[in-house]
Structure formats: C-alpha cells, structure tokens
Structure 1
Amino acid sequence: MLVPPWLSVPPPGYGGLEQVVAGLVDALVARGHAVTLMGAGTDHGTAADYLATLDELQYDRLGEALPELAHLARVNHLISPADFDIVHDHTTIGPLVAGRRTVPTVATVHGNPVGEYGTVLSNTDRGVGLVAISRTQRALNPHLPWVGTVHNAMGLDDFPRKDVPGHGPVLWLARFSPDKGPELAIRACRAAGLPLVLAGKCNEPAERRYYDEVIRPMLGPDVTVVLDADRDAVLRLLVEASCLIMPIQWEEPFGIVMLEAMATGTPVVALNRGAVPELVRPGVTGLICERPEELPAALRAAPGLDPADCVEHVARTFSTERMAAGYEEVYRRFVVAATPRTAVREPARVTPA
C-alpha cells in the first residue's frame, strides 16, 4: 500500500486520502491479509507492517514533483514478486512509474481525472489498473483504463456522535479554495440568519492568498474562523455543528468530509455537484440544493433530520469493511487478468470493469 510522502497515516489533521488508507489497511489486515504500508516518516497508526523511504515527512515540499518521484523510485527498489502479490498505489505520479515494477499495480485516482491530471493518467502503463472513488469521477473520463469503482469509507469507532440534533453553528470544513465555496457559505448563512464556523486548511501559498484577498474582507461577528485544526478539534466542531455546508463549485470526486459529518450525526447541506448525490440521502442525511439561492432554507431545515439516520447511513453504505471487500474483488480480478510481469515486458491488457 503506497501513500504519498507528505503526511502520516492516519494524519494528525487534514488529510482525507491518508484517513481513507488507514481505514482500508486496518480492514484488510482484519480480513486476514498481510499488508505492508510504504510511506515517509517514522510514525504510523495502522495494523500494517511499515516501510519508510525517508525518515522525515515531506509536507513542507507539498506540490513539488521531485519528492514524490524520489519516494516512488525508492519504493520500486523495495518491491519484488517474492514479497508481494499486488501493489495498491495512492500517489499522484505513481501510475507513470508503476510499469517499472514486476508486481501488478492498481492505483486509486483521488482527484479529478481531467486536465493535466487526466493527461498523466491517460499515459500510464497499460498494465496499471485505475480505480475510481465514485461513479461521477469515472464518468468524467470514461476512456481511462478503469478496473473498478470503490467508494471511500469511514470507520466509526473513533467518531463521537450525538443523539439529538446539534444546535451549534453551521460548519464549513475544507481547504481554503474557490472550488470549496467558503464565500457562498458566508452569504448563505447570513441570508439564513445563522452563525458560521469556517474551519479551513490554510497553509499553502495559494490558500493563504485566497483567504487574505477574498475571505478575510467578508468576515464579521457572525463568522468564526478556525485555521488548520487538528483531528480532535475537527471532531469537536463536527459534533457541535447544526449541519455541514458543502457549497462546492467543482466536480468533487468524493468529499470524505461529508462522511465524517454524517458519522457524527451531523447532516449535510450541499450543492448538487460532483459525487454529492452518491453520498447524501436527500431528506434523510442531508439536503441537496440545485442553486445557491436554495441554501439558506436548507440550512434552517437540516437540523430537523435525525442524527441516528446519518450514522446508520455511513455504517451501512460506507463502512471500511465494505471498502476492503470492494478492493479485494478488484485485486483478484486484476491479478488474474494481468500477464506475468518481468522487468522488460509487453504491458498487460485489462478489460475495464
């Protein structure tokens, strides 16, 4: 199981990819698999064996290509058919270099498979199978070598939950980016007469610039800002919130924060973009709006939804056990379909699932 070199698994705060991988690893181990997690840094909190390519996490170089390439080059030297049946890659650049491995590789696509990222993915070795995290994501670029679709998942054991609807402020929880719509969250909450907490990741230059130039001038006494919260603070904010607002302005490929909210019993109010309809049950675990003008009324109505329905929805539909079973099926089909791999070979052709 390969992760990027930026964050530990699980992460101390922001890091949806790493949170998902932590749950997947533990569920696979619980199902009897021997799993080796390969990342950077000396810390991890999973049931897997662990190999680090570097002693230090590379978070301060997030966004650069070379740290991930060097990490993957070291990983490739550690992988041999004698030790592993399959490689599951969660990195961005990994699909481009996976062809150098002598072990079959599936790669989960965690971003939108279009634009520059789509160009990278369309030029991967044909023996690498791509896994989508939502039907919406897969449909954005259906011609890629997809071999399966497996929803992300969330273990509930570490989540506090509420038994009655929350009476706290509306919560926006994301990185500070126009794609995530924090300015829409402010306008919607003001129109609804509701207080708002903006809890955002804001430690990269583009995020700080957007916050300073766009969001800061919009702040007032009705908006509380929490920057770069740790995991405990995030969970506390989720439990206290009356609802989570997701006014996204892009085709969000998944949106793990919606699962996190529902896992605590907090309903979701979202615009109908990306994978939102795959995650939220309208009228049961949240409300889905077609236009920003509909958000204020939905924010006022959402606290009337039953927290128990939110938790039950995550437990039934987005459990780590279900995710692990989905990946098991992908692994089995892919290994059977892949031709024996050698250092120099013709790429295997895999029929997409």
Structure 2
Amino acid sequence: MPTTSTSTRVLPTPSPDRPLRIAMVAPPYFSIPPKGYGGIEAVVADLVDELVADGHHVTLIGAGPHGTKATEYVSTFDEPPSRKLGEPLPEVVHAARVAQIVERGNFDIVHDHTLAGPLLARATVAPTVVTMHGPLEPDPLEYYRALGGTVHLIGISDAQRRPAPDLPWLGTVHNGIRVETFPFQPKKENFALFMGRFHPQKAPHLAIDAARAAGMPITLAGKCQEPVEKAYFEAEIAPRIGPDVSLFGVADAVAKRQLYRRAACLLFPICWEEPFGLVMVEAMACGTPVVALRRGSVPEVVRDGVTGVVVDSPDELPAAIEAARVLSPQACRDHVATSFSTERMAHGYVAAYRKLLAPMQEPAVPAVRSVA
C-alpha cells in the first residue's frame, strides 16, 4: 500500500496571495512524464513543474517512478499497469488509494485528471477540480451530470465544453508545452507526418490517402496496442502500406521531436470532436504547420492560413498540404510560445483554483436582527 505523511484534516482557508497546497492526481497507466505515449501524463508533468516553480506545494499522486519537480510524490503502483490500459480495475484501485492519501493530507485543492477519481470527491474536505481530457460523448456526459456539484470542471477547449453548458465549469485552460524543449527547424524535408493513435477517430488512413494524392511520402508514428487499434490497423492501414509509407512505431520524447522538426507538415485528419490535440501544438512549436479537418478544437489551436490549413473535407487535404508548405515556420513557433506555453497553462489553473476558493476566504456576514 502507498504511504504518505499524515496531518490533521482541516478546511482549506488560503489567503488570496499565499501559495496553495495542491494534490495533483494523474492517471495510473504511465509514468510522469511518459517515456512514449501519454498525452495527459505529459501535460501533468509540465503543470506540476510550473506550479512548483511558482512557489506552490504540489503533492503528485501517480504510478511508478516520476521525473517531475513535485514537492512530494506518492505512487499507487510500483510499476504503471500500462498493459492494462483500457481496463477499468487499475484506475478504480488507483482512485481508492488516492482517496486514502488525500484524506491524510491537508490540501487546499485536489486536481484530478482521472475518470474514476471524481466519484470519491464527495468525501473529501478540499474541493476537487477535474480537468476534462476527453470528449463529452453521451456516457461521459451522464457521468459528470450525475456527479452534480461534487466536482468543478475545467475544459481544455471551448469546443469541448460547448455540448454541455449546464455542467459546473470553472473555465477553459488550454494545454501547454515547454516550447524551448522542442527543436525549431525552418527548412523542412519532403515528407508528411502523422503522430497519434492508430484509431478510426484519428484516421491515419486519411493521412496516407492525402499524402499520396499530394505526391508526398508519409511517416506514421503512434500507438497500436488496444484491440480496436489493432483491428483498425489491419483493416485500413495494412492494405495502404507501400514504398511511400513509413511506419515508425511509438515515438518517445526524443524521437517525436526529431520527426516534428523535419516534417513538411503534420496531418491531423480527425473524424471526431477532438477536445484538444496536443500533437498539433508540439508540431507547431518545431515550426511545422498543421493540415487538419475542421473538427473539435482544431480552429482554436491552429490559425488557419498562418500556422496551418484547416479544411472541411478529406478531399481538400491534398491541396491543403501544398498550401501549408509556404507557411512561415517562425509564425508557427511564435503562436505556440504566445498561446500554449506551460506558464500560461499554470496561470490559468491557479486563477481557476483561486476563483473556486474565493468564497471560503470571505468572512461571514452576521444576520441583522430587527428591533421592534
């Protein structure tokens, strides 16, 4: 069982300007930061480091080892159960152990990035903030409505929040990255890149078709582990493999940066309402424009005609690839530095935390008794 120090449970009453004590709850399936696949874990790692740099006390709760600057770290599993990704039990066990850790701690805010964890928010003294990392499809929507006012939600895009304005939103905070860790290369090589899961929603088959129609080789890098991913690969990707298609596999932190900086463009032909799409930001940080379908968060992340080309139909993707090749790599990087930095992300979250805690800081107003 995980161990952590114990302290008296008290209601959080932070002053408006003092550092906050934050319990940061990451999913259990990958280490933080992840060695390869793991977009949520990458965001959590950068957020933790930025919050600590700003003077806040952050207790990170995750699985396996970590490489963050967290003030404290508590692991719920010795090794992340990565092979069980998609199975519910590891996250349920993780949530139960997190509840014990939070109960023993003394936190102003619990910031949860998991699916199961919010179920236990009702029993915590500190308010729980939940970042919505996935789309609000019917089942998740009913889940968060059933939680009622026990949690406070933060969206990662306005598009993600749009289908359910009735949920208890604190606001929108876009994901951020450390731009300086992504290599900038203005001169690009002659290939397109797909980076992501081999999944029908991500549609790498459309990326192959578009690159081939544009006469450009393509490299595909991504995860193909879950049954749905393997079935999709056999049905849609394997028949399309040819001399102009290179399969890279899962790209770790170093490899993906090298692919981003070299590619002429990143293809993002999503067939679902993508809540954010971190790969778009990472590619643009390397000076690589994005060619994408107009779904979900894409119009919020990509400046059409400046940092990429956004189209409405797969038939328009080949021409969009050609149009993207003349865009300014420097404009792509500048856009990320201005709008999607870790500093901006951390400041957005702290503003949300303090907005939630503000009523607790206000003194009670005594009742006025009428005099006859």
Scaled by the length of structure 1, the TM-score of the pair is: 0.92
Unpaired runs of 5+ residues, structure 2, are: 1-23, 363-372
SS at match of 1:78: helix
Look up the match of 1:326: 348
Match of 2:41 in 1: 18
* Residues 7, 15 of structure 1: 8 Å contact kept: yes
Letter in 1 for 2:343: E
Q: Pick from 62, 75, 81 the counterpart of residue 98 of structure 2.
A: 75
Q: Displacement of 1:338 after TM fit?
A: 6.2
Aligned partners of 2:305, 2:70: CA distance in 1, in Å?
Answer: 37
Tell me the equivalent position of 1:129. 152
2:347 and 2:355 map into 1 onto residues whose CA distance is 13
- Deviations 1:72-116, CA, capped at 9 Å, x for gaps: 111111114862111100001222221121211100000001221
Report the counterpart of residue 266 of structure 2 in structure 1.
244
Name the SS for the 2:111 alignment partner.
Answer: strand
Kept in 2, the 8 Å contact 1:96–1:125? The answer is no
Written as runs of structure 1 = structure 2, the 5 A alignment for 1:1-353 is 1-80=24-103, 83-162=106-185, 164-337=186-359
Count, aligned residues: 339
* 8 A Cα contact 2:33 2:66, kept in partner: no
Give the match's secondary structure for 1:140: coil
CA contact (8 A) 2:59 2:70 kept: no
Cα distance in 2 between the residues matched to 1:8 and 1:217: 34
Relative contact order higher in (CA < 8 Å, ≥ 6 apart)? 1
Q: TM-score, normalised by structure 2?
A: 0.88
* Contact 1:98–1:125 (Cα < 8 Å) also in 2: no
CA RMSD of aligned residues (A): 1.6
Are the equivalent residues in 2 in contact too, given 1:265–1:311 (CA < 8 A)? Answer: yes
In 2: Cα distance, 1:267 partner to 1:149 partner? 24
**Partner amino acid for 2:190?**
G
**Matches of 1:100 and 1:214 in 2, distance apart?**
46
Cα deviation, residue 150, structure 1? 0.6
Give me the whole-angstrom Cα distance separating, in 1, the residues matched to 2:109 and 2:83: 30
* Higher CA-based Rg: 2
* Aligned-partner SS, 1:17: helix
Q: Tell me whether 99-108 or 244-253 shows the greater mean CA deviation.
A: 99-108
What displacement does 1:47 show?
A: 3.9
Deviations 1:158-192 (A, max 9, x none): 21111x23123100111001111111111111111
Q: Is the contact between residue 48 and residue 68 of structure 2 (CA under 8 Å) also seen in structure 1?
A: no
Give the drift of 1:50: 0.7
Task: Provide closer, same or farther for how the CA distance between residues 324 and 212 of structure 1 changes in structure 2, counting only shifts above 3 A.
Answer: same
Distance 1:59 1:110 in 2: 18
1:168, 1:16 → 2: CA distance? 27
Deviations 1:193-223 (A, max 9, x none): 1111111211112111111122101111111
Following superposition, the deviation at residue 42 of structure 1 comes to: 2.5
Structure 1 residue matching 2:292: 3-state secondary structure:
strand
Given that residues 90 and 109 in structure 1 are in contact (C-alpha distance below 8 angstroms), is that contact kept between their aligned partners in structure 2? yes
Give per-residue Cα distances to partners, 1:206-261, cap 9 Å, x unaligned.
11111112210111111111112222111111111000011110000000000000
Gaps of 5+ in 1: 341-353
